[in-house]
Chain A
Amino acid sequence: MKKKINYLLENVKYPLLAIALAFLIGSIFVILTDNSPIVAYSALLDGSLGNIPKFGETLLKTTPLIMTGLAVAFAFRSGLFNIGGEGQYLVGAISTVTAAWVLQDLPGFILIPIILLAGAFGGAIWGGVPGFLKAKLGVHEVIVSIMLNYIALFLTNFLVRVTLNPSTLQGTEQKAYSVMIPEHARLLKFNEFMPVFGYSSLHVGILIAIACAVGIWFLLFKTTIGYEIRSVGHNPYASEYGGISISKNIILSMMISGGLAGLGGAMTIAGLTFKVDQSSGLPGYGFTGIAVALVGKNHPLGVLASALLFGIMSNGSRKMQFEGIPKEVVGIIQGIIIIFIAGEAMLKFMTTRKKKEEKGEVA
């Protein structure tokens, strides 16, 4: 037990330090705006955790971040960098709307699982493409994923503007968004069965996201598939020598990763927006997901905690804005957190070097 706690502390130490330092530097920016950091950060906390509806809204913002964070963390475990969460999220969202339109006559209890799976499937395909190109042709997955992000953006815009537009399918005038998914395809909201959540639009997607995190933890650490994926990430050639197929696991891992991000998009559609809007830019969940995964140390349960942190920052920033502090401070803090975590290797390098010097091992 003590060993476990030490292990946990060792892993939590650096992210916590990075977060603390980032907030410290962030307070300089708050002071630049002639405000007190204490006012700013208490507004941040009050705006996100002040009462149950506010907490509900925070969890609502946390939900997609858990999914994209898990997507990045899972790919990391197999030695891959999934920067394509943006595209996979979008394709997941548009697949959900498509499935809900095509199958709208099905009863809700069948339709809801189907449209969520459709979203996950769409994301899996979008993640599978860079996986396939990496496995079969050795093309770097990062570059392909970035390209696919923008292809997904424009493809989504086209489908929303033409194929799935209410003007095409329902004969209305041209709209800047797709058809709505039918009422019975929508996820249950918390305030429908727990009135304490008040105005919050929190839906049961958060429970699905938490279940996914636990499921991914089980898959990674308790099954053969997870063992193979982790060993390919650790040392691909040794794994291959041991009879594990590198290319199969690369494709599989990118598909699961993409599926997670796609499910994130699907749940936002089925639980919150019910439609896809035309957009000039990427939604940003995939990129924030990278930060979430890094802070969570690429561990599924760590991702849950760090997604909540980013959810708090994202939801609380509005309250900060009311207090006259630009909400961009939060973005600055997020960027600084990642920079510190990216530089963690250096911290580690320095500390181990010191230890070695003390022991006289470094010549």
Chain B
Amino acid sequence: MLVIFIAIIASALRLATPLIFAALGSVFTERSGVVNIALEGIMIMGAFFAILAMEFVSNPWIAVLVAMIVGAITALLLGFLAINLKANQVVAGTAINILAGSLTAFLLEMVWHRSGQTDTVANALTKNPETLAFLEKIPVLGSLFSGLTPFVYLAIIFSGVSYYVMYKTPFGLRIRAVGEHPRAADTVGVNVYRVRHICVLISGALAGLAGASLSLGTVNMFREGMVSGKGFIAIAAAIFGKWHPLGAFAACLFFGLTEAIQIQAASLGLGWIPSEFLQMLPYIATVLALAGLVGRAVAPAASGEPYEKGHR
């Protein structure tokens, strides 16, 4: 039983990892007042470009960096549309989602001359890093660590860093001010547009990283449809975690756990629960949280509202 239990925890951590990166991205944008529906599309871009980069470089960390940069550039488009042009943020995000899905599929055909999936790449980051191999020697827990990838550790570190930035630095205070009351922030000299742009860029880089952790960190390749809604689950996790970095982290662990349980349902003696119900759980939990049934989630006041200087 303990073996299964540890396997599930490891699996939950692995499944939660891409969600954690993207959910942290969602926390940053929403806190600054921009709704980033495009997380899904940016994750697709990150997942694809991480694998594409591996065609040219041998170091997977450079590929991860490429994915983050591509994510940030994609987010720049969202920022330009939503912040500068004051476009409807949901419309702009939807456009990027459609574009990302088609663009990656197009490039996949151009580079690999087929559709569906890329070749598998060597040197992927799907195993516990060698520098941390000593952790595997710990009795009982060792098997847990051997099931983790470098991305899992990164996700935990990034959650802590995000919390620190958001709540312990002047920049974090500015982010929250801009998301709650942009006019007041503007009055005291905070550059609303710049803070929002930085947050959108951060979320793009994080979502790109989320995509890389999905392709490079799990299956060594890119498959069309591999993101399939994970960007939206990340948005849900940010809400469920009440737009707090650590709350979002916990929500992602919870969502990862439901997915891990769903995969292991038979060996847990839970085969009688239809798998679809476990798949639904994160979404139902989020709706209930929004409706106030499990601790009301109230969005940052200016989230989704374009800011126009000099208007009342």
Q: Does A60 contact B (CB under 8 A)?
A: no
Listed A/B pairs (26) with beta-carbon separation below 8 Å = A33-B110, A81-B88, A81-B90, A133-B291, A137-B291, A140-B290, A140-B304, A146-B232, A146-B235, A147-B236, A151-B284, A154-B277, A154-B279, A155-B276, A157-B276, A281-B228, A291-B98, A294-B91, A326-B106, A326-B109, A328-B105, A328-B109, A336-B99, A342-B91, A342-B95, A346-B87
Q: Is the CB of A155 within 8 A of B91?
A: no
> Among the listed B37, B106, B236, B290, which residue makes an inter-chain contact with A133, where contact means beta carbons less than 8 Å apart?
B290
Chain A residues with CB under 8 A of B90: 81, 83, 142
Residue contact A143 to B280, C-beta cutoff 8 Å:
no
With a cutoff of 8 Å between Cβ atoms, the chain B residues found around residue A338 in the complex are: 91, 94-95, 98
Q: Please, how many angstroms separate the alpha-carbon atoms of A128 and B140 in the complex? A: 51
For residue A144, CB closer than 8 A to chain B, the reply is yes
User: Is A332 touching B91 in the complex (CB atoms < 8 A)?
Assistant: no
In the complex formed, the residue of A with least CB distance to B284 is A151
- B160 in the interface (beta carbon within 8 A): no
The answer to whether A161 touches B276 (Cβ under 8 A) is: yes
In angstroms, Cα B80 to Cα A345, docked, is 12
Is A329 an interface position by the 8 A CB rule? yes
Tell whether, in the assembled complex, residue A139 and residue B290 are in contact, meaning their CB atoms are under 8 Å apart. yes
Residue A37 at the chain B interface, CB threshold 8 Å = no
User: With an 8 A cutoff between CB atoms, is B86 at the interface?
Assistant: yes
Q: Which A residue's beta carbon lies closest to that of B228?
A: A281
Q: Mark B273-286, 1 if CB is under 8 A from A, else 0.
A: 01011011001101
A342 and B283 within 8 A (CB):
no
- B228 lies within 8 A of A342 (CB): no
- In this assembly, does B81 line the interface, its C-beta being within 8 Å of a C-beta of chain A? yes
Q: Which of these, B77, B92, B102, B232, contacts A150 with CB under 8 Å?
A: B232
Residue pair B102, A287 in contact (C-beta under 8 Å): no
A162-B274 CB under 8 A given contacts A147-B286, A331-B98: yes
Query: For the complex, would chain B's binding face be called helix, strand, loop or mixed by DSSP majority?
Result: helix
How far does the Cβ of A257 sit from chain B's closest Cβ, in whole Å?
15
**Residues 147-205 (chain A) with a chain B CB within 8 angstroms:** 147-151, 154-155, 157-158, 161-162
Pairwise interchain contact A328-B106, C-beta atoms closer than 8 A: yes
Per-residue A-contact encoding for B74-111, CB less than 8 Å = 1, 0 else: 00010001001111101110111111111101100110
State the Cβ distance, A143 to closest chain B Cβ, in Å: 6
A207 contacts partner chain B, Cβ-Cβ < 8 Å: no
Chain A interface helix/strand/loop/mixed: helix
Does B295 have its Cβ within 8 Å of any Cβ on chain A?
no
With a cutoff of 8 Å between Cβ atoms, the chain B residues found around residue A81 in the complex are 88, 90
- Kindly count the residue-residue contacts between A and B in the assembled complex, taking CB atoms under 8 Å apart: 146
In the complex, the answer to whether B283 meets A151 with C-beta atoms within 8 Å is yes
The minimal Cβ–Cβ distance linking A356 to chain B, given in whole angstroms, is: 15
Whole-angstrom CA separation of A331 from B105 in the bound complex: 10
**B232 touching A334 by the CB < 8 A rule?**
no
Most chain-B CB neighbours within 10 Å: which of A29, A144, A151, A291?
A151
Interchain nearest-CB distance for B261 vs A (Å): 15
Most buried by B among A33, A294, A332: A332
B77, closest chain A residue (CB): A339
A346 to B86, CA, bound (A): 8
Identify which of residues 320-351 in chain A touch chain B, using a CB-to-CB cut-off of 8 Å.
326, 328-332, 334-336, 338-339, 341-346, 349
Residues of A within 8 A of B102 (CB): 328-332, 334-335
The residue in chain B whose Cβ has the minimal distance to the Cβ of A339 is B95
Distance between A187 CB and nearest chain B CB, rounded to angstroms: 29
Interface status of B239 (Cβ within 8 A of chain A): yes
Contacting pair A287 B97 (CB below 8 A): yes
Residues of A within 8 A of B276 (CB): 154-155, 157-158, 161
Q: Is the CB of A345 within 8 A of B232?
A: no
- B85→A280 contact, CB < 8 A: no
Quick check: is A290 within 8 A (CB to CB) of the other chain? Answer: yes
How far does the Cβ of B286 sit from chain A's closest Cβ, in whole Å?
A: 5
Asked if B287 contacts A339 (CB within 8 A), the reply is no
Determine if B299 is an interface residue (Cβ-Cβ < 8 Å): yes
Interface centre among A32, A147, A330, A345 (most CB of B within 10 A): A147
